[in-house]
Copies of this chain bind each other. A is one copy, B any other.
Amino acid sequence: MKIFTDLTTTPELLEYLRDGIAPHELLRPSQSGASVLADVPTDPIMQEADIVLGQPRVDAVLSSPNLKWLQVSTAGYTRYDTADFRTAVQAKGVTVTNSSHVYDDPCAEHVLAFMLANARQFPRALKSRCANGSPEWNDLRRESKLLQGQSLLIIGYGAIAERVIELLTPFRMDITAMRRNVRGDEKVKIVTPDEVAAALGEADHVINILPDNAESLRWFNATRFAQMKPGSIYYNIGRGTTTHQEDLAAALKSGHLGAAWLDVTDPEPLPDDHILWTCENCHITPHTAGGQFEESRVLIRHFLENLRRYEKAEKLVNRIM
């Protein structure tokens, strides 16, 4: 088979991929790859491929005559998440997987870093040079919290949520998650979107891991923030488009929310005059939650594992279409 990838990576990791797919043939683009969020021209070499690993254009996928399987090299797949695309790949018999498994671990560790940084009063405590027993010190110690025993609501139940739940097990938190379609095998209490208002009112912490689609657009708006418990903390490690950012700023400035910790915004980065930069209790990392040392190696390893399954006609991991 011919396997095409537009991954931007080192020669060493490209060799790792080439060795891993042998005896299949590796095809490389004539142009270099780009983010799924950007637009790239169709690559003629891709048209020869049986399998693609990367982030090709929608029209390039649909016009590839031999394509049987596309593995998107990110967790997000907004570009492909349309009824038209789903129908077209189904008609062509093309399987689509993504790389969300690669991002479960770093995203889960990142949101736990947010939660603990908030609980232990970072970054304020890291800036303070206060003396033991001073009013500022007493205040900092009093405002330092434990996650242990607090309540958490996760909006969007998938692989990242499952890893967050696993990491939080020793903290004995009271965890609930919202899922559109309950399957029965979830590891925590599940509420449906109809039941979410009450759950929002009870949670000390709310984590947003919603994907980016028409239904999730500005899902967190003034109404939802108002439903949240006073003083509660909002985290977003999903997509920036799922938050109404002006409503979030208002909820932070009024003191209704205790703080927000965001890894994603809309756009990224926010313009320098954006109101969220003026909220002292809004902490933003620049879409680095998915990052990890040798991310490309983990991405390639995930693809090779799926390729072994594909060769044996087994069920693929992270199939989305």
**Which A residues contact B (CB, under 8 angstroms)?**
34-35, 37-38, 105-106, 109-110, 112-113, 116-117, 119-123, 125-126, 128-133, 137, 140-148, 166-167, 169-171, 268-270, 272, 283-295
- Pick from A109, A142, A169 the residue with the most CB of B within 10 Å: A109
A137 contact set on B, CB distance < 8 A: 286-288
- Is there contact, CB below 8 Å, between A286 and B140? yes
Q: Which residues of B contact A169 (CB under 8 A)?
A: 169-170
Contact present for A35 and B133 (CB under 8 Å): yes
If A105-B148, A291-B142, A292-B145 touch, whether A120 touches B128 (CB-CB below 8 Å) is: no
- Known contacts A141-B291, A170-B167, A288-B140; is-contact A146 B105 (Cβ 8 Å): yes
Q: Chain B residues with Cβ under 8 A from A121's Cβ? A: 288
Is there contact, CB below 8 Å, between B37 and A144? no
* Known contacts A132-B35, A146-B292, A292-B144, A122 near B113 by CB under 8 Å: yes
Copies in the complex: 2
Cβ–Cβ contact A117 & B119, under 8 A:
no
CB distance from A288 to the nearest CB of B (A): 5
Closest CB of chain B to A5's CB: distance in Å?
18
A285/B146 in contact, CB under 8 A: no
Closest B residue to A291 by beta carbon equals: B141
Residues of B within 8 A of A113 (CB): 113, 116-117, 119-120, 122
What CA separation (Å) do A288 and B129 show in the bound complex? 11
Bound-complex Cα distance A275 to B183 (A): 57
- Knowing A109-B116, A113-B117, A120-B109, say if A284 contacts B126 (CB, 8 Å): yes
Contact of A286 with B148 at beta-carbon distance under 8 Å, contacts A113-B119, A117-B113, A120-B109 already known: no
Contact B170 A288 (CB under 8 A): no
Q: How far is the CA of A109 from the CA of B283 in the complex (A)?
A: 20
Q: Which residues of B contact A288 (CB under 8 A)?
A: 120-121, 125, 137, 140-141, 144
Query: Which one of B147, B270, B293 contacts A109 once the chains associate, using CB atoms below 8 Å?
Result: B147
In the complex, residue of chain B having the shortest beta-carbon distance to the beta carbon of A284: B126
Q: Do residues B128 and A285 form an inter-chain contact, with CB atoms below 8 A?
A: yes
Which residues does chain B contribute within 8 Å of A290, judged by CB atoms? Answer: 141
User: What are 28 A-B contacts defined by CB distance under 8 Å?
Assistant: A37-B132, A38-B133, A105-B148, A109-B119, A109-B146, A109-B171, A113-B122, A116-B116, A116-B117, A117-B122, A120-B285, A121-B288, A125-B288, A126-B285, A129-B270, A129-B272, A129-B286, A131-B286, A132-B268, A137-B287, A140-B286, A140-B291, A141-B290, A142-B291, A143-B293, A144-B291, A146-B292, A169-B170
